[in-house]
Amino acid sequence: MGGFTTQFVAALTVTISLALVSGCLGTAFGLFVAISKGTAQPRLNSVVTAYTTVVRGVPELLIILLIYFGGTTLASKIAGRYVEVNAFTAGVIALSVVFSGYATEVFRGAIAAVPAGQTEAAKSLGLNAWQRWMFVIGPQMLRLALPAYGNLWISLFKDTALVSIVGLTDIMRVAYVGAGSLRAPLTFYLAAAALYLSLTTVTLLSIRLAERRYPALGR
Amino acid sequence: MNLGLMFDAMVVLPSGVGLTLTLTVLSLTAGFLLSVPLAFIRAFGRPGLSLAVLAYTYVIRGTPMLVQLFLLYYGLAQIEAVRSSIFWVILRDPFWCALLTFSLNSAAHTTEILCRGLQSVPKGVTEAATSLGLKRFQIARLVTFPIAFRISLPAYGNEVVGMIKGSSLASTVALLEITGMARQMVSTTFAPYEIFIVAGAIYLSLTSIAVKAIQLLERWLSTDGHPVRRRKARLRPALPDHEITTTPLP
């Protein structure tokens, strides 16, 4: 493996931070959209439905390519000279968009699964909209969403590998470079596979822990 | 936005649809055929065998498909025995490597989907089939699998869509399917927006058709609210599956 061990360690932090940043942004955006979809007028609803349909129906690779190359063209046009968009930024935007598309559907389903009587009871107790979300619907909805939401994180960690195609030095990129320079593709790709597998395993275990700690209420 | 370029892309890119569909359909078929026995082993097999299948699905589902593709396409060439064997004819060709990767991937996902379906078939149904004197293989073929397939169909629809989208990875090993052609066009025209948006629209229509087709299949296979079909089903030694497909109340 030569001096590639330190590079793999650096790449691991890149992959993890890419996943964490885009996962958190995607969650925040997905949560916001799902909540506003439940309350807002029909026209906004159809916009949200169009958004989730498009994001979930187009390959992740294509979204990454579109945002990286399209972003470079756009930035160059605005700046008036050639500007290259950072691969990390493009990856964060693309993966957040993908994550939020799926997360919206997960949260929307979970909100719909909370019985209507809960909202009515909270209203009759005189809680305002903010309190209803914080103390009544939110906690129940998040517990219901947890298993599907966890699967999204596993997919996210796997999707980060696609950002290597636009040149981000993540695990996959280091494996690609190492495989080329040391002429040992099998070793390097197996190492990459092992790293990704351990990442998804850690994610899976933490979801299982969270599911045990916060089981769905009332079932 | 250059509309002329978008029109060009609309003319050129559909020639990649054939390869995308070929890769998707072949790998879904191969994956499904492979996954049916695996799902039965995973659901009802001896603990050792079931664990072996779980290990397969866990590793495949836990690693990115891109890594698996590169492992097969670039990695296997490192082994001298592979290069000198007859399989090399297949393994040096990017098409077969991509097809093999996608099939193995699809098989792993479908195995888990079908396994969950098989496990949610009520025990009483198989017991009833046993008491009617059906053999084990007959029960699997006539009773357990049809019910499990109907239960799994919505989840399998997601797998079909995932495979259409996943086939875009073939562009990384220089195959000219939709994404590959789009990347080639972008590298000559330097107009990423127009061309990738057209490619995305083509993918979106493919996935929408797949979703609709699965929904139609679901409706066609379900016997809810179809008195004629149900009566026909009653004549055969089939099962009143309208009771099974509805989820029990908590």
Query: Which chain A residues contact residue B196 at CB under 8 A?
Result: 62, 65-66, 69-70
Query: Which chain B residues contact residue A54 at CB under 8 A?
Result: 200, 204
Query: Which chain B residues contact residue A74 at CB under 8 A?
Result: 193
Cα angle: A7, vertex A12, A15; to 5 degrees: 125
Question: A9: buried, middle or exposed (CB in 10 Å: 19+, 13-18, 0-12)?
Answer: exposed
Which of B72, B83, B196, B208 to probe by mutation at the A interface, max A CB count within 10 Å? B196
Quick one: tokens of A69?
């190359």
d(CA B66, CA A215): 34
CB-based contact A190 B71, cutoff 8 Å: yes
> What are the structural domain ranges in chain B?
3-245
Residue in the structure block whose two tokens are 């397939």: B149
d(CA B231, CA B212): 27
CATH 3.20.20.100 fits B3-245, yes or no: no
Amino acid, res. A90: A
Instruction: Render each residue's pLDDT in chain A as its tens digit; 219 residues.
Output: 667 888 899 999 999 999 999 999 999 999 998 888 766 677 888 888 899 999 999 999 999 999 999 888 888 888 888 888 889 999 999 999 999 999 999 999 998 888 889 889 999 999 988 888 889 888 899 999 999 999 999 999 999 999 999 988 899 999 999 988 888 889 999 999 999 999 999 999 999 999 999 888 765
Which residues of A sit within 8 Å Cβ distance of B? 53-54, 56-63, 65-66, 69-70, 72-74, 154, 158-162, 164-165, 172, 175-176, 179, 183-187, 189-190, 192-193, 196-197, 200-201, 204, 218-219
Instruction: Render each residue's pLDDT in chain B as its tens digit; 250 residues.
Output: 678 888 888 888 889 999 999 999 999 999 999 999 999 999 998 999 999 999 999 999 999 999 999 999 998 888 878 788 877 888 888 999 999 999 999 999 999 999 999 999 999 999 999 999 998 889 999 999 999 999 999 999 999 999 999 999 999 998 999 999 999 998 888 888 889 999 999 999 999 999 999 999 998 887 665 555 544 544 444 444 444 444 555 5
Are A187 and A119 spatial neighbours (Cβ–Cβ below 8 Å)? no
d(CA A216, CA A104): 19
Ordered structural domains, chain A, with CATH: 16-164 (1.10.3720.10)
pLDDT digits (tens, 9 = 90+) for B53-78: 999 999 999 999 999 999 999 988 88
Amino acid, res. B216: L
| pLDDT for res B237 | 44
Are B69 and A177 spatial neighbours (Cβ–Cβ below 8 Å)? no
CB-based contact A189 B186, cutoff 8 Å: no
d(CA B116, CA B185): 43
Using the Cβ of B29 and the Cβ atoms of chain A, whether some distance falls under 8 Å is answered with no
d(CA B196, CA B215): 28
A197 vs B63, B161, B208: nearest CB: B63
B192 vs A60, A70, A190: nearest CB: A70
SS3 for chain B is: CCHHHHHHHHHHHHHHHHHHHHHHHHHHHHHHHHHHHHHHHHHHCCHHHHHHHHHHHHHHHHCCHHHHHHHHHHHHHHCHHHHHCCCHHHHCCHHHHHHHHHHHHHHHHHHHHHHHHHHCCCHHHHHHHHHCCCCHHHHHHHHHHHHHHHHHHHHHHHHHHHHHHHHHHHHHHCCCCHHHHHHHHHHHHCCHHHHHHHHHHHHHHHHHHHHHHHHHHHHHHCCCCCHHHHHHHHHCCCCCCHHHHCCCCC
Q: At what angle do helices B94-119 and B17-44 cross, to 10 degrees?
A: 40
Closest CA to B146 of B249, B84, B222, B215: B222
| pLDDT for res B235 | 47
Cα angle: A150, vertex A156, A159; to 5 degrees: 150
